[in-house]
Amino acid sequence: MKIKDIKTYFAAAVWRNFVIVEIEGENGLKGYGEGTLGDFEKSIEAAINDLKPFLIGREIEINEITNFFVRHFFWRNGPVLSTAESAIEQALWDLMGKTVNMPVYKMIGGKAVDKVKVYGNGFISGNESPEEFGKAAVKTIERGFYALKFDPFSGSGPTINNKELTLASERIKSIRDSVGDDIDLMIEAHGRFNTRTAIKIASEIEKYNPYWFEEPVPEEDILSMAEVKGNSRVPIATGERILSKNRFWELMVARGADIIQPDVCHMGGIFALSQIGSMANTNYITVAPHNPNGPVATAASLNALITMPNALILEFWLDAETVRHDLITEYFRLKDGYIYPSNKPGLGIEINEEALTKYPYRKMHLEYFSSDYKYHGDIDEIN
């Protein structure tokens, strides 16, 4: 079967646009992938359109196509190009799964686990008080989540003064006191600190028993990440901005992380995520995919993660719920803090095609390192 057409859609969602790729096969079926980056959405669309002439009329052999991306262009990787290629790869798997009437996870080896734990994110951000952090956490737990991730650091970085560290610590304490000791807490740093500061913070937050400390230093500095890990009793998670299997291997060899966080939208797609999971398993590292994206990426991530014996947990965002629920005809099965795979073919979701044009593109940018950034709320919230 050959590729007949490729289209790109945007869905504005609070602080970014979900980027959704549709690939139509000559059999009339359509597959969907996601290339949400949080910025530069029009550049991703342009990259997809640049690749389109090489793909229209091409036989759908996914390994051959992804190898073509790697071997036949002088420039490769980079967040925009890798995201475009990852979205295309996901859509091809979805289309092939629908064509052979089989879930993608069965096509790449079948389930290693029956369900995956999820953690809630997007429920609080910015410069809210410790009390507000605690209240927001309780509301999220009441929705059935048993793990939470949040960034308590406001505008701090690359260093942190005593006042800022005290406030961050109080926010974590407020959540821990509000939800109890049985709830897992992931502390997000967005790669903002230098090495000494990150080690200092890890020591301070250890008393709250965090599940992990995420991106304590810039992700491109693997040696510094390894130094932080070697000096932290809190597990270190990273990898959301790593774009290639090669770079993940370098991270693992350097012993730079306890948990890796590949993003299906940026590092090659579903099969690449599965391969990285296998590499991690060999190195006794667990996998917790980064996923602040839309429902298509959630489905793609789940299809890869469910095949991994070292699957740890999946990020599940709680913002823009109107858009998320509208984009797919039947939402994900969540129960007791876990997400369950679908038995439907392809990615296991059905796209509401009318919704693809219902939330038109808006130029948005989230400044993570300001003191008052906001990424929680629904589509009627002011950014």
Across the chain, mean pLDDT equals 96
141 and 270 belong to one structural domain: yes
212 and 334 belong to one structural domain: yes
Look at residue 117 and tell me whether its pLDDT is greater than 50: yes
In a domain, 189, yes or no: yes
197 and 114 belong to one structural domain: yes
CB atoms within 10 A of CB 150: 24
Paired residues of 236 in beta bridges: 213
96 and 153 belong to one structural domain: no
Residues annotated as catalytic are 190, 290
What is the number of domains present in the chain?
2
Among the listed residues 81, 114, 13, the one whose alpha carbon sits nearest the alpha carbon of residue 358: 13
145 and 236 belong to one structural domain: yes
Q: What is the number of helices (H) and of strands (E) in the chain?
A: 12, 13
115 and 233 belong to one structural domain: yes
CB atoms within 10 A of CB 48: 25
In a domain, 214, yes or no: yes
277 and 317 belong to one structural domain: yes
CATH number at residue 19: 3.30.390.10
Which of 69, 102, 135 terminates a domain? The answer is 102
139 and 63 belong to one structural domain: no
140 and 276 belong to one structural domain: yes
236 and 310 belong to one structural domain: yes
Type of residue at 162: N
Comparison of pLDDT for 372 and 316, the residue scoring more: 316
Q: What is the mean pLDDT of residues 134-150?
A: 97
The pLDDT tens digits of the residues spanning 284-323 come to 999 999 999 999 999 999 999 999 999 999 999 999 999 9
Look at residue 379 and tell me whether its pLDDT is greater than 80: no
In a domain, 367, yes or no: no
The answer to whether the pTM exceeds 0.85 is yes
Which of 47, 75, 102 terminates a domain? The answer is 102
C-alpha to C-alpha distance for 382 and 377, rounded to whole angstroms: 9
Domain around 243: 106-346
C-alpha to C-alpha distance for 242 and 53, rounded to whole angstroms: 28
The pLDDT tens digits of the residues spanning 190-224 come to 999 999 999 999 999 999 999 999 999 999 999 99
108 in the Ramachandran plot: left (φ > 0), alpha (ψ -120 to 50) or beta? alpha
Q: What letter does residue 327 receive in the DSSP assignment?
A: H
In a domain, 372, yes or no: no
Output the CA torsion 369→372→378→380 (10° steps): -120
Question: 378, 319 in Cβ contact below 8 A?
Answer: yes
CATH number at residue 277: 3.20.20.120
pLDDT at 383: 41
pLDDT at 382: 44
34 and 111 belong to one structural domain: no
Look at residue 59 and tell me whether its pLDDT is greater than 50: yes
Comparison of pLDDT for 76 and 165, the residue scoring more: 165
Look at residue 29 and tell me whether its pLDDT is greater than 70: yes
In a domain, 298, yes or no: yes
Classify residue 135 as exposed, middle or buried by CB count within 10 Å of its CB (0-12, 13-18, 19+). middle
In a domain, 377, yes or no: no
In a domain, 32, yes or no: yes
Look at residue 126 and tell me whether its pLDDT is greater than 90: no
In a domain, 238, yes or no: yes
Classify residue 139 as exposed, middle or buried by CB count within 10 Å of its CB (0-12, 13-18, 19+). middle
126 and 52 belong to one structural domain: no
pLDDT at 228: 98
Q: Please tell me the least confidently modeled range out of 129-138, 184-193, 238-247, 362-371.
A: 362-371
Pair of tokens at residue 260: 């890796």
pLDDT band for position 381 (cuts 50, 70, 90): low
Look at residue 127 and tell me whether its pLDDT is greater than 90: no
Pair of tokens at residue 66: 């992804």
